[in-house]
Amino acid sequence: MLRTMTNHFHHRVTEPQSEPQIINSRTCHFLSSVSLCLCGEFSYPALSFAHSLYNNPVSATPSFAPEEVDPASGRPPFTRWQDLLLTLISWATTIAVRLIGPTMKFAVSCEENSPTSLEERPFVYSFWHQCTFAATYLWRDLDIRVMSSTSFDGEFTARMIRRFGFVPIRGSSSRGAVRGLLGMRKEIEAGYTVAFTIDGPRGPRFITKPGPVLLARSSKVPMAVFHIAIDRKWTLNTWDRLLVPKPFSRALMRVGSLIPVPEDIGSADLEHYNALLQSSLDRVKAFAEANVERVGSDQFPFFERHKSGGTFPSSSHTSVPANNSGT
């Protein structure tokens, strides 16, 4: 049933009109060397390794076949070499987030009828995979449950985000989907917000999948979306064009209007709600990218993040069009 429903949710790829500067393999290796010299640690080798890790071919139709998992850990068994690599790159990325994150300045802008704070819950959040770095830092320590695949790159992400207070739930759009959705629903029933990197684990980039719609329908919890644009960043040459903020960069998070999904809708209507999710994500992405240079202005003041979260400024609930470049 899930395979049939997934086939209904394919949409054309919405590419951005212009791409920022992309880091190629040679640059990744150069940054790795610089990082080792400056930090004595391995923050940018993770970026270099990600180039090969994330760019594997993506099948058009996801498979929902179960994976072999270790009953004790809930993940597939890895070789010692794989486990060593996972340890190295997850700690490298953790160090990079902890070093760069505190230097960043964020602003938050919201559409009407959207969440009013980081800590408000429960919701079924979706965001694009390329925002993972900035989102990990901004949404840290809020006990958010995140769908995490049982693949190698899913395990890498799970190890890293645990150190920032997230709780990985095993499953993905390509493997273990039913198990993952059931786990996410259980967390919602316990009062937690859940989140999907909706075009993960390996694309297609900027294309939604049906998981959030199915979960919102069964849990009676509305869908929410956001996108984080960054003014100064490195863009990795990976399938998701992962955005890595440069130190002291500024970022704008645009939060979309809530999307309730009625419990009694049929399978035919699910495509409509997935289209709403797609258009909402496209809309907040366009807005954030068009206005990120104005972070710190009166219209987009800096966001104050405290230990338990942070309330979005009331003035942030603005309807400024995505292509507005004026004040």
- The full set of domain ranges for the chain reads 2-12+19-62+79-291
pTM of structure: 0.77
DSSP tag of 309: B
Lowest mean pLDDT among 79-88, 154-163, 253-262, 310-319: 310-319
CA–CA separation, 210 and 268 (whole Å): 12
- Helix residue ranges, H only, the chain: 2-7, 25-39, 45-54, 80-100, 132-138, 152-162, 177-189, 211-219, 267-291
Label residue 172 by pLDDT band (50, 70, 90): low
Label residue 46 by pLDDT band (50, 70, 90): very low
Angle between the N-to-C axes of helices 45-54 and 80-100, in degrees from 0 to 180, rounded to the nearest 10: 120
pLDDT reported for residue 44: 36
For 245, phi then psi, to 5°, come to -65, 145
Between the CA atoms of 289, 147, 310 and 220, what dihedral angle is there, to the nearest 10 degrees?
100
Question: Can you read off the two tokens belonging to residue 228?
Answer: 């984080």
Kindly tell me the burial class for residue 45, based on how many C-beta atoms sit within 10 Å of its own C-beta (0-12, 13-18, 19 or more): buried
Label residue 73 by pLDDT band (50, 70, 90): low
**How does pLDDT run across 176-235, given as a tens digit for each residue?**
678 889 999 999 999 999 999 999 888 899 999 999 999 999 999 999 999 999 999 999
CA–CA separation, 249 and 231 (whole Å): 6
User: What value does the mean pLDDT take over residues 114-128?
Assistant: 97
Question: If we measure between CA atoms, which residue out of 217, 155, 141 comes closest to residue 185?
Answer: 217
* 309 within 8 A of 119, measured Cβ to Cβ: yes
